[in-house]
Amino acid sequence: MEDLLQIKGLWKSYGGTLAVADLSLSIKAGKIHGLLGPNGAGKTTVVKCIVGLLKPDKGEILVNGVEITSSESYKSLIGYLPEDPALPEYLTVEEFLGYLARLRSVKPQEAKLRVGELMEIFSLTRLKHEFIGSLSKGLRQRVAVASAFIHKPKILILDEPFLGLDPEGQLKVKSMVKDIVKHGGAALISTHMLDTAERFCDTVTIIYMGREIVSGDVESIKQVADANSLEEAFIKLINRR
Ligand SMILES: Nc1ncnc2c1ncn2[C@@H]1O[C@H](COP(=O)(O)OP(=O)(O)OP(=O)(O)O)[C@@H](O)[C@H]1O
Ligand SMILES: [Mg+2]
């Protein structure tokens, strides 16, 4: 299977603050990879480098085999959920998703269907005429997550997708991710929900202060840490530093 995402020797600092140090990882088609680490570990910085929001100080990022600085077209392959999605308060749910479909070059005749389908999946249909500004935090997160799937992306880059979602919302996100991955896609998911990561991710990378602590499949990480769960392994490995 080909690598859909490759990060090679990534470094990023903000002024004097080192946020990511010599990080490498790759994700093959058909795989879900968890990016784990305590607050401030560098997860969001990695994610922002992948989607082109931040310029790495050093290192290479390849999406579908193409170095991202050499082409803008890779962006159409990516479905991105930011950590703090900024949603326009004055648009309705349906207007916003329709607007994003146009922005993402979804054909007009398909866009209406796709927006309807995503609103159904994320139980937003009854709220389609509500202003986003009037929605609860979790409902806004549902809208943000739905928007990441609007153009049927091949590669998902989701920064804390489960944050604020109720159990049904979390289940919907998981099944949408699984569906894309099953059809040859790949996903990078940053999360603090280690129980979920343990069951949901094929492989994970744990980072701390910008550096990789361990990377691999969940079972091998549990073995390395002599732990019964990913959560226990995480705590043990971080505390050793
Ligand atoms: N815009 C910024 N300017 C300066 N420093 C920043 C900026 N964004 C992040 N940092 C610093 O970079 C480091 C990594 O932050 P980052 O947001 O990538 O961590 P994270 O793993 O996503 O954390 P969290 O779990 O809290 O979301 C931290 O030390 C943080 O203070
Ligand atoms: Mg973050």
| DSSP string covering 105-139 | T--HHHHHHHHHHHHHHTT-GGGTTSBGGGS-HHH
Assess whether pLDDT exceeds 90 at residue 208. yes
Is any atom of ligand 1 closer than 6 Å to the C-beta of 14? yes
Report the chain's mean pLDDT, rounded to a whole number. Answer: 96
The superfamily CATH assigns to domain 3-239 is P-loop containing nucleotide triphosphate hydrolases (3.40.50.300)
Is any atom of ligand 1 closer than 6 Å to the C-beta of 41? yes
Assess whether pLDDT exceeds 80 at residue 1. no
Centre of ligand 2 to C-alpha 159, Å, is 7
Site to probe by mutation for ligand 1, drawn from 20, 43, 84, 205 as the one with most ligand atoms within 8 Å of Cβ, is 43
Assess whether pLDDT exceeds 80 at residue 84. yes
Q: What is the pLDDT of residues 156-181, one digit of tens each?
A: 999 999 999 999 999 999 999 999 99
Centre of ligand 1 to C-alpha 20, Å, is 9
Assess whether pLDDT exceeds 90 at residue 209. yes
Q: How many helices (H) and strands (E) does the chain have?
A: 8, 10
The average pLDDT across 4-16 equals: 97
